[in-house]
Amino acid sequence: MHFSSPALLSALYLAGSTVEAAKFDGPDYESLPLDTIFPGPWESNIRAPFNKSYIAPVKIFHFEGAVSGGEAVLQDADTEGISWVISPGGLITFEFGENIAGKVCFEVEAVKNDPYLVLAYSESPFFTGRECDATGDAQARDLPLAFSINNTGTNCVGGGYTRGAFKYLTVFIPESDIPTEGGYLWHDGHSAPKREYISLQKHSWYNILGQKYLGWSSPSKNDTSKQPAVAISKLWVNCTAFPSNPNGRAYTGYFDSSSSMLNRVWYAGAWTLQLSTLDPTEGGSLIDFNRFFDHNNAPRGAWYSNYTISHGKTVTTDGAKRDRMVWPGDMTIAVPGIAVSTYDMLAVRNALDIIYERQYSDGSMPYAGPPMGAFGEFSDTYHLHTLIGTYEYILYSGDLDWLKPKWDAYLRALVISINKVDETGLLHVSSTNDWIRPGMTGHNVEASSILYEVLGNSIKLAKWIGKDTTSNGEDWSTTRARIRQGIHSLLYCEEDGLYADNMGRRGCTGPEKILPQDGNSWVLMSNVFTSNSIAYKVSENLRKRWIKYGAPAVEFPNVISPFASSFELLAHSAAGNNDAAVELIELMWGYMLDGPGMTNSTLLEGYRIDGYVHYPAYWSPARNSHAHGWAAGPTTVLMQGILGIKLLTPLGKTWEITPQLTKWLSYAQGGFATKLGKFEVSISLMHSLSTGRKVEALNITYPRGTEGLVKWGGRAQFRTEDMGTSFNVYRYLDILTATDEEWQMWSADDLQDFVKDDTWAKPLVEERPEGVVDWKALEENYMLAEQRFKPDSKSVQVGMGQMDDWHPDVVAVKPPKLPHVEEHLKSSAESSGSGIADYKKVLEKLEAENRERLRKERQRQDREKIFQENPRMREIFRILEMDGGAEKEVAKQLELSEDERAQLAELEYFSRILDEMVNSQEGKARERIGCPPKDAWTFPEGGKKVDEVRDEQRIGKVDL
């Protein structure tokens, strides 16, 4: 029986009433299996550790000074009886096998003179050293953690100091006290002890150069008997991520193919989602924003993770290092990825629960979960993402009992968005908030397309629990038809073959025309397009914009966004262009794994179009999250697009399987399980030993008691419950007769005759241009980001209800905050020790600082160019920095060539750079030279005293 009936598909989508009566043969997300349910060689790609409570480093990345025996603590080290010994001046950076998370522990063999270690964490190798990478915007890098060693035996960092993600751990003992984050409950006064050190002989600049280049002996130090030291036999991390399962490798899904890169990406996405799943009491890395509620007085640059962000024992969040919060937008990518890899649906449910619990009185959903939600933060798109997350949770979990009591809340939220669809047929957004991209204004294509998708999902949800599908007297299908008409008639740009961002300045004929990646992707994902030919054209036109390192988000200048690009992957698949989807995964996600500064194991939040790991949403490159759930799109796309497994009703009681191998693969296999059982697909190219004819073979397994449609090679077959639970066929790729067009059943002879097609060759990859950074636009975006967080900024007040920019006198503003919310804001600000007036001043200062940082970044780029042309110049600059700017003496000592002198002269600001180096890093320079500091590290990185700016609240993605 071969057919493809729209009526049948509609019936399959809406048939869900028998799910609750079905027998469960698959995993239970309330009590996940303790071992993988798909064992096989593909498990070698799993990045989760074998023992999450004991993760040891695998190598030494860097070391210097008074340190020995560091290899003793490495994984599988054969160093019985050897300890790692470290004393003042010693530093060692350990590298772990993958990006990990958790609490650092040491097994201490001996201590001397009350030692304390300083710990600095980094996800990227670019930010290793004496400072951490960053979780906030208050300064470029987080403070390192001072950790006192009080006893021999096991010593572990305090509970609040779970570092959400790091691959590199630097451990050192400073020769003098430095600014650190120290111990648990820093704000109660616990910090590293002050010590009196033996004064060292001062070294002149020529003494240093003599030691380096002429082999002069270093002056002997005074008696070191009073110096502290510690001997350590073991170092490990107790990973606290993915608390739902003690075995992080107990996957409920798998993927394998002829592309090792696709395999690695699928598992990197799964591991990223695991790292981003937390114990809810270890959330909230935006401690400056937390201050409104926990009233902490942590110093600038401090960090910890001890804010409770949801109920329960596990919750999915945006990212492992930061923000460690529930962001609904991220869930649209994360939820199906979790469902097909680890089935941790309990973490998803807890995330949704906290958003619904904080729903505003008017029906709007909060922009994010705690600590946000108290000040009326709202986003039209993230509001809708909550509803998408609801549908995806029900689809994979089958938890209709959870949905029924929440249906009224769901409806109130849906009506909020429906009411914004005006006579144009488009959703008129009332908030500029989205994924920090600029230009979320007016009658927006992304928001309208997401609403179209949500309405379709809502029709299915309503049918599954026996509810009505109308609002304001209009059926949701009618509202969908109006949106489809509005999007195509007003936003489709015929000459570009793409959709415009909105009707106004960013429209097809507007002066600032933008054809957004996110909006065009959502048009395809939601199936709001009017014809398959238009869908394929949009897909190909998105593909034409790719550059060397991925797909640029043109709506957010200078950015390659794995979030928007995950949508683009789903869009290519929806348009039937899975070739483009696989090509983009290998191009972009391959770079995200193996590019410079990456973790080789997890997927990052975003990066610049020139490939650098700086995500332009933030001024500090070190703040980028290298384990961000919204980047895990391939984990879903490879399962739904290539293997083609799509659930139509809860748990997969009905399903559709539409595999497509693409030109990039010779075989692919994989599957996942719901409570009903396993879904598994294998598709491969083979050829006949006897005739040489080539075929494509397909093997499908599905749970008993289910039914669905198999679509493959232009034909389809409906599989009923009485047809078994497996399906094995092949089809000829070279059609010779009419019979060859049919699917062929395997015979015993076929099994002997057909073998893997070893003549298949992967197509050549297209060369793509480099991305070029627009530095002016980069600076403007920093300023925009600052303005979004000013409580009474005119740009925010108007921008919250901004039209399409052609009629600025007409605005549609979100209803004002309720009195009790305003009072909460006022009281929280006052009790935190910083009033709103002070807060505004701080933000203005930060804005100025950000402009200055951008100027310095441009200078750094100039210097890097010189360093590339002449690597010796890097050493010259390093010595100049260390030695106080004595450029003439250094030039003489190093015998600079005329070309090198000319290169220095080309930098008009050269002497100013030297001054900045000395003034901003005096402590570091003196420490390197061996001189005692003047003021015990008065000047940390950035040239400002720690207490120079107090209560700087750089609030995350919030409109106050």
The pLDDT of residue 500 is 98
Other Cβ atoms less than 10 A from the Cβ of 212: the count is: 12
- Looking up tokens 């920090």 gives 436
CA distance 855 to 857: 5
Residues 320, 241 contacting (CB under 8 angstroms): yes
| Amino acid sitting at position 219 | P
CA distance 447 to 329: 12
What does the buried/exposed string (b/e) look like for 619-652 if buried means 16 or more CB atoms within 10 Å of the residue's CB?
A: bbbbbbbbbbbbbbbbbbbbbbbbbbbbbbbbbb
CA distance 319 to 617: 15
Instruction: Tell how far CA 523 is from the center of its chain.
Output: 23
Kindly state the DSSP code that residue 628 receives in the 8-state scheme. B
The pLDDT of residue 780 is 74
Q: What is the dihedral of CA 320, 323, 326, 331, to 10 degrees?
A: -60
The pLDDT of residue 903 is 64
Give 856-864 contacts, CB < 8 A, sequence gap 24+: 856/916, 858/775, 859/909, 859/913, 862/907, 863/907, 863/913
CA distance 436 to 455: 25
The pLDDT of residue 681 is 98
Q: Distances in Å between the alpha carbon of 760 and those of 190, 643, 686?
A: 65, 19, 9
What counts of helices (H) and strands (E) characterise the chain? Answer: 26, 29
Name the nearest CA neighbour of 564 among 611, 605, 511, 620.
605
CA distance 426 to 436: 22
The pLDDT of residue 195 is 31
Averaged pLDDT in 10-residue chunks for the chain of 960 residues? 45 53 80 96 97 96 95 88 92 98 95 93 96 91 92 90 97 84 36 33 38 38 71 96 96 98 98 98 93 89 93 98 96 97 98 98 96 92 98 98 98 98 96 91 96 98 97 96 97 98 94 97 97 97 98 97 98 98 98 97 97 93 97 98 98 98 98 98 96 95 97 94 93 91 89 91 95 87 53 39 38 36 39 42 56 64 73 68 50 62 55 46 40 33 31 24
CA distance 87 to 228: 6
Q: DSSP readout, 847-866?
A: HHHHHHHHHHHHHHHHHHHH
What does the buried/exposed string (b/e) look like for 312-333 if buried means 16 or more CB atoms within 10 Å of the residue's CB?
A: bebbbbbbbbbbbbbbbbbbbb
CA distance 921 to 705: 69
CA distance 896 to 711: 71
